[in-house]
Structure 1
Amino acid sequence: MNEHLDTLSPAPVWRHFRTLCNTPRPSGHEAALVAKLEAWADGLGLAHDRDAFGNLRIKKPAAQGCENAPGVILQGHLDMVAQANAERPHDFTRDPISTYVEDGWLHADGTTLGADNGLGVAAALALLESTDVAHGPLEALFTLEEETSMGGALELAEDWLEGKLLLNLDSEARGEAYIGCAGGSDVVVDARLPEAPLEAHERCLDIALTGLKGGHSGMDIHLPLANANRLLVRVLRTLEFAGARLVSYQGGTLRNAIPREAFVRVALPADEIDAVTAKVASLEATLRAELGQPDSGFALGVTPTPPADTPDEALTVDASAMLVAALNVAPCGVERMSAEVEGVVETSNNLGVLNLEGGRFHLCALVRSLHDSAVAAMIDRFRALFELIGARVKAEHGYPGWVPDSDSPLLATFIDCHQQRLGREPAVKVIHAGLECGILGSKYPALDMISFGPTIRGAHSPDERVDIDSVDEFWTLLKALTEALGR
């Protein structure tokens, strides 16, 4: 499958990316890909091993004459975000990713593409098998479960890696080098809320909010992109006049993807159905006018719940109002822009996954900040808010930020290579997304690190795509930098 990838340039990178597309690899299901890469390394006579968590390392000795050069670690993550459009059934644990080219960009057919971080992994594999690049000792570190928990980096073995320089290949903009990133933490909220039986005069409605663009909760959080959970909660606030009671709610699927869809089932008096239907139609027009072009696919619809699906119970009126009110004031989106780095988000939160079923409420949000103290403060705000409704709040999968070092010798070499090979200096930036560099640096504090990559847009959503020309530029730069570091 994806044979057309073999016609793209640079051929070695796209050949490996085809393997990644054809091998299902959502977070937590990377085992088949790891086995393929180990067999591939065996075929080339390259040493490989894993740490206790399962992170994979493949080593290549220095080229002749480069034995005294510092060791270089090529780093990327094997897993990908699993997101598909509602009309595109896709089992990410079994089905390959189907790709196509349009106007110079590579897309997937209704799903995430996996260019994040598949192209960084593919470039590292291509460099490992290359015979025309003079290089010092190479280690390729491929981590697991980056997209769901940063688990591979957090559990990475200490005193395992040997290199002194680390090239993180997980950035998403040509012509840019990243030297710092946000840290973050998941905030998990759980509650058991009171229910009451449906009354004889009550009926149920299903409300669906669909068609939003979505995006990466770090890279895209500052863009004018709506959060489906935030919008549907706003809708629910306007329905309180009808005494609507929450039956169930499903919104978002990943805490690091801006939710594109959300669905709620409510119970309400039968004589309020016409008024609620009219109110939702009016809100659809209002919200469509507010959202504008970025979310032009937005739709808000109401349908009667099929009789066979009518539940026996719903949250009480008071519990419904209390939960909707808490969600309505919960932090969402950009909290503060950085005072130190112009144009960069300092602190944000994404209301990523929201679920209500059988009276059990669950929320998973992702807080990010350039300051670990601000992450802690945001977590405390969630705790203060949701404990008011009797919920349990905990923080988990926390990871540190990556503190910038503008005097990095590795950065200076990268800038020089960029200028010589591409005829221009790169922009040096700090990113709001959570790269693994902060975690790796906490375990290996002597590492000198930078991050760069090809141009990827729409990561963490089915709109994910990669600029094909930028991959060629990325490959040229990676080879040139590796050779410069091998001298």
Structure 2
Amino acid sequence: EQRSAPAQLALLASDNIAHGKIEALFTVDEETGLTGAFNLEKDFLTGNILINLDSEEEGLIYIGCAGGKNTRGYFKYKEKESPKKYFWFNLHVKGLRGGHSGSDIDKNFGNANKILARFLFSLMRKKYGMVLSEIKGGNLSNALPREAYAIVGVKEKYKEDIRVKLNTFLASVQNEYKHTETSLDIQLESAQIPSKVLNKGTTERLILALNACPHGVIGMSLDIPGLVETSNNMASVKMIDGQQIEVITSQRSSVESQREYVINMVTSVFDLAGAKVTYNEGYPGWQPNTESQILRLAEKVYKDLYNKDAEVKAIHAGLECGLFLEKYPHLDMISIGPDMTDVHSPKEKLNIPSVEKWWNFLVKILENVSPETAEKR
């Protein structure tokens, strides 16, 4: 962790920062499994206030987050010999921005898996005799997929038709994302003849499911203007163990019943396509508390420091705070952090000047917390 762990260590090492009793909580695997938060024991912490340091915008105080769960579909396949007199090609969707599947889900960034599936669908039920040898797209469940590729075959006589069709499709998709995905590209390159291809039934069911599976914003909050309430991310598609294709999706919502609704929606798509469906444990959301004492203190401190109001928000992303609150219902919590951009992508950046402002904000909060409030159970 490039910001919160060093900040906590600096607090522990310092002997010139005024504060009451503090506990520094370090957790593992926050990005991919929340393993540390899940395994936090219920009698481990003794304080009454928790300041989470995992936010990504300086000047914002977060007081709520979405809960999340992953739904996976497994498509079993059989292999058969590659057909003769076919044109084989690599299809590569690339150049997308990626980003966080929660905080960036409303920015109309492209999803490489969905774009690839759209083109494959256009080939599937035509005269081309399309077959699929390989497919892969995306990686982490909490990231928008930036790239996807497939090894595809069509009847050799339609080789030039496919190139023309792809150029037309690419122009359409680039127009759709002209404001957000200026580097979007789909490359077609000739490929070696594969030894095996997927059976037709699985290929069709997979492509239908990838097209039907929802992606993006499902609903906006009616309580907090501008906040995404519910969403789904079609995160990754990959072939595993030589026998099946795994499709991972991620559902988020600040309303538990809506999250379950989207899970059921995705499950229905996978069920209809004949896939086996599994779920991870999921994590709870963090319901905003506008009467929070630590929130009021933080707002005052920020105004005193910078002569302007901090913005108070909830976020459509998973923070460990939901799990902390589930195990310690008495906790009074806020989440703060420095400015970060392009999170969960190779272009991820931390704004250095904002770190100083965030650090000073944290130190002043600690200086102003009364011992009685902090230690009350």
Is 2:356 the partner of 1:356?
no
Query: What is the DSSP-based 3-state SS (H/G/I as helix, E as strand, rest coil) of the residue aligned with 1:118?
Result: coil
Q: Does structure 1 conserve the Cα–Cα contact (< 8 Å) formed by 2:205 and 2:274?
A: no
Instruction: Show the counterpart of 2:230.
Output: 347
Structure 1 residue corresponding to 2:181, chosen from 290, 295, 298: 295
Structure 2 residue corresponding to 1:278, chosen from 144, 164, 167: 164
Question: How far does the alpha carbon of each residue in 1:144-189 deviate from its partner, in whole angstroms, 9 at most, with x for none?
Answer: 1111111211111220111111000011111110111000001111
Structure 2 residue corresponding to 1:426, chosen from 291, 295, 310: 310
Shift of 1:398: 0.3
Instruction: Show the counterpart of 1:167.
Output: 51
Q: Does structure 1 conserve the Cα–Cα contact (< 8 Å) formed by 2:75 and 2:206?
A: no
Query: Hey, what's the Cα distance between the residues in 2 that align with 1:407 and 1:125?
Result: 30
Query: Hey, what's the Cα distance between the residues in 1 that align with 2:144 and 2:222?
Result: 25
Q: Does structure 1 conserve the Cα–Cα contact (< 8 Å) formed by 2:252 and 2:259?
A: yes
Query: What is the DSSP-based 3-state SS (H/G/I as helix, E as strand, rest coil) of the residue aligned with 1:416?
Result: helix
Normalising by the residue count of structure 2, what TM-score does the alignment of the two structures yield? 0.94
Q: Does structure 2 conserve the Cα–Cα contact (< 8 Å) formed by 1:184 and 1:372?
A: no
Structure 1 residue corresponding to 2:357, chosen from 473, 479, 482: 473
Query: What is the DSSP-based 3-state SS (H/G/I as helix, E as strand, rest coil) of the residue aligned with 1:295?
Result: coil
Letter in 2 for 1:478: L
Query: Hey, what's the Cα distance between the residues in 2 that align with 1:283 and 1:316?
Result: 26
Q: Does structure 2 conserve the Cα–Cα contact (< 8 Å) formed by 1:181 and 1:402?
A: yes
Shift of 1:195: 3.6
Letter in 1 for 2:183: G
Count of residues in Structure 1 that have an aligned counterpart in Structure 2: 368
Query: What is the DSSP-based 3-state SS (H/G/I as helix, E as strand, rest coil) of the residue aligned with 1:356?
Result: strand
Shift of 1:213: 0.7
Letter in 2 for 1:418: Y
Structure 2 residue corresponding to 1:244, chosen from 124, 130, 134: 130
Is 2:29 the partner of 1:151?
no
Structure 2 residue corresponding to 1:186, chosen from 58, 65, 70: 70
Query: What is the DSSP-based 3-state SS (H/G/I as helix, E as strand, rest coil) of the residue aligned with 2:20?
Result: coil
CA RMSD of aligned residues (A): 1.4
Q: Does structure 2 conserve the Cα–Cα contact (< 8 Å) formed by 1:281 and 1:301?
A: no
Query: Hey, what's the Cα distance between the residues in 2 that align with 1:330 and 1:199?
Result: 30
Instruction: Show the counterpart of 1:262.
Output: 148
Question: How far does the alpha carbon of each residue in 1:280-325 deviate from its partner, in whole angstroms, 9 at most, with x for none?
Answer: 122222212221142111111111112xxx3232223343222111
Is 2:128 the partner of 1:223?
no
Query: Hey, what's the Cα distance between the residues in 1 that align with 2:225 and 2:117?
Result: 32
Query: Hey, what's the Cα distance between the residues in 2 that align with 1:161 and 1:407?
Result: 23
Equivalences for residues 48-127 of structure 1 within 5 A: 117-127=1-11
Q: Does structure 1 conserve the Cα–Cα contact (< 8 Å) formed by 2:68 and 2:252?
A: yes
Q: Does structure 2 conserve the Cα–Cα contact (< 8 Å) formed by 1:215 and 1:460?
A: yes
Between 128-137 and 406-415, the greater mean CA deviation after superposition: 128-137
Query: Hey, what's the Cα distance between the residues in 2 that align with 1:156 and 1:233?
Result: 40
Q: Once the two structures are aligned, what percentage of the paired residues are identical?
A: 37
Instruction: Show the counterpart of 1:317.
Output: 200
Query: Hey, what's the Cα distance between the residues in 1 that align with 2:62 and 2:217?
Result: 21
List gaps (5 residues or longer) in structure 1. 1-116
Shift of 1:378: 1.4
Q: Does structure 2 conserve the Cα–Cα contact (< 8 Å) formed by 1:165 and 1:410?
A: yes
Query: Hey, what's the Cα distance between the residues in 1 that align with 2:228 and 2:165?
Result: 36
Instruction: Show the counterpart of 1:483.
Output: 367
Query: Hey, what's the Cα distance between the residues in 1 that align with 2:35 and 2:172?
Result: 42
Q: Does structure 2 conserve the Cα–Cα contact (< 8 Å) formed by 1:195 and 1:314?
A: yes
Shift of 1:486: 4.7
Q: Does structure 1 conserve the Cα–Cα contact (< 8 Å) formed by 2:64 and 2:288?
A: yes
Query: What is the DSSP-based 3-state SS (H/G/I as helix, E as strand, rest coil) of the residue aligned with 1:331?
Result: coil
Is 2:329 the partner of 1:463?
no
Q: Does structure 1 conserve the Cα–Cα contact (< 8 Å) formed by 2:76 and 2:202?
A: no
Letter in 2 for 1:118: Q
Query: Hey, what's the Cα distance between the residues in 1 that align with 2:6 and 2:178?
Result: 37
Query: Hey, what's the Cα distance between the residues in 1 that align with 2:161 and 2:201?
Result: 21
Is 2:273 the partner of 1:416?
no
Is 2:250 the partner of 1:390?
no
Letter in 2 for 1:326: A
Q: Does structure 2 conserve the Cα–Cα contact (< 8 Å) formed by 1:182 and 1:431?
A: yes
Q: Does structure 2 conserve the Cα–Cα contact (< 8 Å) formed by 1:183 and 1:368?
A: yes
Query: What is the DSSP-based 3-state SS (H/G/I as helix, E as strand, rest coil) of the residue aligned with 1:188?
Result: strand
Query: What is the DSSP-based 3-state SS (H/G/I as helix, E as strand, rest coil) of the residue aligned with 1:142?
Result: coil
Q: Does structure 2 conserve the Cα–Cα contact (< 8 Å) formed by 1:186 and 1:367?
A: yes
Structure 1 residue corresponding to 2:219, chosen from 336, 355, 362: 336
Letter in 1 for 2:148: A
Q: Does structure 1 conserve the Cα–Cα contact (< 8 Å) formed by 2:75 and 2:202?
A: no
List gaps (5 residues or longer) in structure 2. 372-377
Query: Hey, what's the Cα distance between the residues in 1 that align with 2:325 and 2:306?
Result: 29
Shift of 1:128: 1.4
Is 2:81 the partner of 1:197?
yes
Shift of 1:359: 5.0
Query: What is the DSSP-based 3-state SS (H/G/I as helix, E as strand, rest coil) of the residue aligned with 2:90?
Result: strand
Q: Does structure 2 conserve the Cα–Cα contact (< 8 Å) formed by 1:382 and 1:393?
A: no
Greater relative CO, 1 or 2 (CA 8 Å, sep 6+): 2
Q: Does structure 2 conserve the Cα–Cα contact (< 8 Å) formed by 1:171 and 1:452?
A: yes
Between 413-422 and 287-296, the greater mean CA deviation after superposition: 287-296
